Homo-oligomer: A and B are copies of this chain.
Amino acid sequence: MTALPLLQEELGPLVDVRPEALEEARADRSGHAAVGRPLAVVHAETVDHVQRTMRIATATRTPVVVRGAGTGLAGAANAGEGEIVLSTRRMDAILEVRPDDLLAVVEPGILNADLNDRLAASGVWWAPDPASRDISTVGGNIATGAGGLLCAKYGVVRDAVLGVDLVLADGRLLHLGHRSVKGVTGLDLTSLVIGSEGTLGVVVGATLKLRRLVAGDVCTLTATFPDVRAAAAASAAVTAAGVQPAIMELMDAASLAAVHALLDLPAPAPGAAQLTVRTDGPAAAAEAETIAGILRDHGGLTTLARDREEGERLLAIRRSMHAAMASLGTTLIEDVSVPRSAMPAMFDEIARIERDFGLTIPTVAHAGDGNLHPNFIFEGPETPTHVWAAADELFRSAIRLGGTLTGEHGIGVLKRRWLADELGDDQWRLQRQIAGVFDPLGILNPGKVFEPDA
């Protein structure tokens, strides 16, 4: 028996076989698309729907790709020939908000921004803020271990989840983690699921750790530097000085020029790089002054926003990065992360790779935590071989500097060939065996993360 008729029999109209739905599920925001078309998209609306889908998948040995909003950047939720797409996008309820206990229980399909809009009324928020927050789901944020702009001060997804409800490959439902702040009962499987990219099970619910809304206004400033190395060194000096901005974003010359062109702003000086810094909380104004002083001492030309509106305008330049890149061609957004003190050295490496490969690699960085997003631009849908060769150099440089090949986007299909380089063969095999404990038949996202390239 094949899976499709069983799914249709059990789940009826939730099983979507429209060609456009199948086509859409082949790709994510990385631009990469899987080979062939999936069998069907199951639009699960309840935990029971997920369990029934997984039981059929297990009975028929059919691969399952769990999918939220499809905004991933590593191809982890792309579904190909013969696979079931299990969408949790419709499971978007907020089941409970407890401002007194600083927790919320939610379904996985709710969008990050929608959740935060709803939480604001209770005076609380969920801190992870990937750039995709308006269009990405909480379940997807958990599956990738997402980060964002505010992480250096307010943490990443791993710091903001107390528990996860997980449906295993065979359809059993597990409740992992706690509702209490502390808890060390057995192994921390909640953390293991965060960032596991659909290889361990289907996240059908999450108990989120909330924060209280930060009181007071925010202060925003920019600082322009003659070159990117100076900007990186200045941002490292801010961290080293012990001031903690909420946001500290770096744009190199190519990024800054591209965004200015897109927004019809005057062209920046050749080679100029920019830091955009935001402080918040009761000491926001004093901290902004301190940071501005440090940046000036490091050769920065600073502009302090007079009000919130001007602050938003300054930050809009950074937020227009993706649009600016898209206007130049197809974009491969990379995601290396290094210790903060190694950022200037990492920018040196990027400059070297640009020279060696004859490429321009516009780069932005979450400078507060050392996470860089170098962008490779090319024509057509397929990443050219020489771009992958340059990316290979990039990953090796990051690892050599004590960093990692992915700070917040994940491995998916696009980086699986480098996974063992970072983990080492022993750890790579061990991780694969652990995934096998959750999914002995190997039906959960096969070919992703742990599968070496064919």
Contact = CB atoms under 8 A, between A and B. Distances in A.
Interface of A: 98-103, 123, 144-145, 147, 151-152, 156, 158-159, 168, 172, 174-176, 178-189, 191-192, 194-196, 200, 212, 236, 239-240, 242, 282-283, 337-341, 366, 369-371, 402-411, 419, 422-424, 426-428, 430-431, 433-435, 437-438, 449-450
Contacts of A99: 240
A187 B410 CA distance: 10
Given A98-B341, A409-B184, A189 B427 contact: yes
27 contacts: A98-B339, A100-B340, A101-B341, A102-B239, A152-B181, A156-B182, A158-B191, A159-B159, A175-B424, A176-B427, A178-B337, A179-B402, A180-B369, A180-B371, A180-B404, A181-B339, A181-B371, A182-B404, A184-B406, A185-B405, A185-B422, A186-B428, A186-B450, A187-B434, A187-B435, A192-B192, A430-B437
Contact of A340 (B101, B183, B236): B101
A100 B424 contact: no
Nearest to A369: B181
Nearest to A419: B186
Contacts of A195: 184, 187-188
B185 A419 contact: yes
A178 B426 contact: no
Given A242-B123, A434-B434, A185 B411 contact: yes
Contact of A186 (B181, B186, B188, B411): B411
A414 to B, nearest CB: 13
A304 to B, nearest CB: 21
Output the residue of A185, A236, A340, A449 with the most chain B CB within 10 A.
A185
Tell me how many chains of this kind the complex includes: 2
Contacts of A427: 174-176, 186, 189
Contact of A196 (B187, B240, B242, B434): B187
Given A188-B195, A427-B175, A402 B100 contact: no
A232 to B, nearest CB: 13
Nearest to A144: B184
A63 B330 CA distance: 56
A139 to B, nearest CB: 15
Contacts of A340: 100-101, 181
Contact of A370 (B174, B180, B242, B341): B180
B174 A410 contact: no
A337 B176 CA distance: 16
A339 B408 contact: no
Given A430-B174, A430-B438, A406 B183 contact: yes
A204 B12 CA distance: 54
Contacts of A419: 185-186
A98 to B, nearest CB: 7
B434 A180 contact: no
Contacts of A430: 168, 174, 189, 437-438
B184 A410 contact: yes
A180 B338 contact: yes
A399 B339 CA distance: 40
B426 A100 contact: no
A182 B147 contact: yes
A339 B182 contact: no
Output the residue of A100, A168, A176, A341 with the most chain B CB within 10 A.
A100
Interface pairs A-B: 3 shortest CB-CB: A191-B191, A182-B407, A181-B369
Contacts of A405: 185
Given A182-B366, A184-B408, A187-B196, 8 more contacts: A123-B242, A182-B408, A186-B427, A187-B434, A188-B192, A188-B194, A189-B427, A191-B192
Output the residue of A103, A181, A186, A339 with the most chain B CB within 10 A.
A186
Contacts of A408: 182, 184
B242 A188 contact: no
